[in-house]
Structure 1
Amino acid sequence: MPAASVLIVLVVYACLVVTGVLWPNRLFASGYTVRGVDVSSYQGEIDWRVLASEDLDFAYIKATEGSSYVDSRFEENWAGAAASGLKIGAYHFLSFESAGIDQLKHLVDTVPVDGDLPIAVDLEFYGRFFDEHPTTSAVRAILDPLLTGIKEHYGYDAVIYATPEAYDEYVRGAYDENPIWIRSVIGPANLPDERDWTFWQYSNRDRLRGYRGDEPFVDMNVFAGTAAELSGLTRR
């Protein structure tokens, strides 16, 4: 094939990937039958009846961030997702700039105890911390009391969501009791310490029916187990 033709094919393929039409990870994730989304206010107004019909089993909904921020659509999404029949859970975005005990109080004040899925703590870099990674000891000083408090209040171990970089720095070799939700949108999910993951975020470029917001895409996830095992995560 001439070089110009190869270049055209590569450009077209890249455009299809960027726009979410093609996503290589869908093939790897197709072996898992329990699927779900995670959403925030970026997806705007969600018709949960329509979204739930897109071959979904669960939804994680952004609730809180740090010690004071509440997602503007959390209550609306929580109620709508619950009414749709999906298994629902809330996630908290961890801040490196406020104490874990303060973030715990904020979370507990916001998220009810009647979720179907464990609270998830989102551990990833943001803002200036992409370049200035906090030390492991500093992050664990925030994360540890938060995880302990979640277990005491809600009655189960929180899920830890992490990017590969954050996992390697802060989670690897620790937190054995906490289910892991790993982000790996380029290829199959493999944890560096060979630990098994519980949830895998395999795509950040899916387009589903049922929402209209500033963000045209929605994150897709799979669960490493059956629907019955998913329900058992919060069994006290």
Structure 2
Amino acid sequence: MKSFIAFTLLAALATLTGASPLEQRDNKPKGIDVSGFQSNVGWQSVKNSGVSFTYIKATEGTTYKNPSFGQQWSGASSAGLIRGSIHFAHPDSGTGSAQAQFFHSNGGGWSNDGKTLPGSLDIENNPSGNTCYGLHVGSMVKWITSFSNEYHSLTGRYPVIYTNTAWWKACTGNNGGFGNSNPLWIASYGSSPGALPNGWNAATFWQYANSGSIPGDQDYFSGDMNGLVELARG
């Protein structure tokens, strides 16, 4: 929690000093996030390009496991990257607690080794149906709470929440109850993260593009390398 608060204060300080979001990101640790679509990643080349961290999709719903996760995880580790895992939420096909357990059992764990980031809950537009998975805002908030609390009980960490502001407003009613516990990973493509969901004053991670010169989506961490390591250590 101390590191999470520090990230918020750091962003506020940048605002007070007049640095633009684009200027702020120039010296931030760069990352990528990948899934089974990027099955063969040249991790050492990624590292040599200046990337410091990666998030790797592990699971989806209660049945899908990324077939490339094991080799992606070991490859990123061998290259010396700080890494974390992702669960793509399907609130329409299993409870939050059940999906947290599935995630934890299939690559979503956490260890206090200084190089493993807390797992991320990817909750966003339904790729194959109703945008909010057929849940009303109250039910969606309960689902996210269930996942978050179960993951915390299994690992001692609250998951990073990956989302975009438009979806959060539409599907949670812009709920502000997660900002004090869950770091935010905002998806916002452009020169700045833009308006954030209610409850967060700053984003810990910013996905600023869905492609680039290196594989996967493109990300920045809001602090410095020491802060990234602190986040990994909890």
TM-score (norm 1): 0.79
Query: Of 110, 113, 123, which aligns to 1:113?
Result: 110
- Alignment counterpart, residue 36 of structure 1, candidates 9, 23, 31: 31
Q: Which amino acid aligns with 1:141?
A: K
Check 1:61–1:129 CA distance in 2 against 1; reply closer, same or farther (3 A cut). Answer: same
1:219 deviation in Å? 0.7
For residues 29 and 96 of structure 1, do their structure 2 counterparts lie closer, same or farther at Cα, with a shift above 3 Å needed?
farther
* Residue 225 of structure 1, aligned match among 203, 220, 223: 223
Q: Deviations over 1:86-141 (max 9, x none)?
A: 00000100112111122122112112433611100001012212386631122123
What is the aligned partner in structure 2 of residue 188 from structure 1?
192
Match of 1:69 in 2: 64
Instruction: Classify the secondary structure of the residue corresponding to 1:113.
Output: coil
Partner of 2:11: none
Structure-1 separation of matches of 2:57 and 2:101: 16
Counterpart residue type for residue 217 of structure 2: D
Q: From 173, 176, 180, give the equivalent of 2:176.
A: 173
**Could you tell me how far apart the structure 2 residues matched to 1:125 and 1:30 are?**
26
Q: Could you tell me which residue of structure 2 aligns to residue 58 of structure 1?
A: 53
Opposite residue 196 of structure 1, the aligned amino acid is A
DSSP-derived class of the 1:129 partner: coil
SS at match of 2:141: helix
Contact 1:156–1:234 (CA under 8 A) maintained in structure 2: no
Structure 2 partner of 1:93:
88
The answer to whether the Cα contact below 8 Å between 2:110 and 2:118 also exists between their aligned partners in 1 is no
Tell me the equivalent position of 2:122. 122
Bigger mean CA deviation after superposition, 193-202 or 133-142: 133-142
Shift of 1:52: 1.6
Give the partner amino acid of 1:44. Answer: S
The one-letter code matched in structure 1 to 2:177 is A
State which structure, 1 or 2, has the greater radius of gyration over its C-alpha atoms.
1
Cα deviation, 1:16-44, whole Å, max 9, x if unaligned, reads xxxxxxxxxx9567434211000001112
- Quote the offset at 1:207 in angstroms: 2.3
Cα distance between partner residues in 2 of 1:63 and 1:192: 25
The residue correspondences of 1:195-210 to structure 2 (distance < 5 A) are 195-208=201-214
Gaps of 5+ in 1: 1-25, 209-216
The alpha-carbon distance between structure 1 residues 53 and 143, as it changes in their structure 2 partners (threshold 3 A), is same
CA distance in 2: counterparts of 1:37 and 1:102, whole angstroms: 27
> SS state of the match for residue 205, structure 1?
coil
1:173 match: secondary structure = coil
Equivalent-residue separation in structure 1 for 2:132 and 2:140 (angstroms): 15
Deviations 1:163-208 (A, max 9, x none): 1222224254111211000000134113154621110000112122
Distance in 2, Cα, partners of 1:52 & 1:34: 11
SS at match of 1:128: coil
- Paired residues in the alignment total 203
The two structures, once aligned, show a CA RMSD in angstroms of 2.1
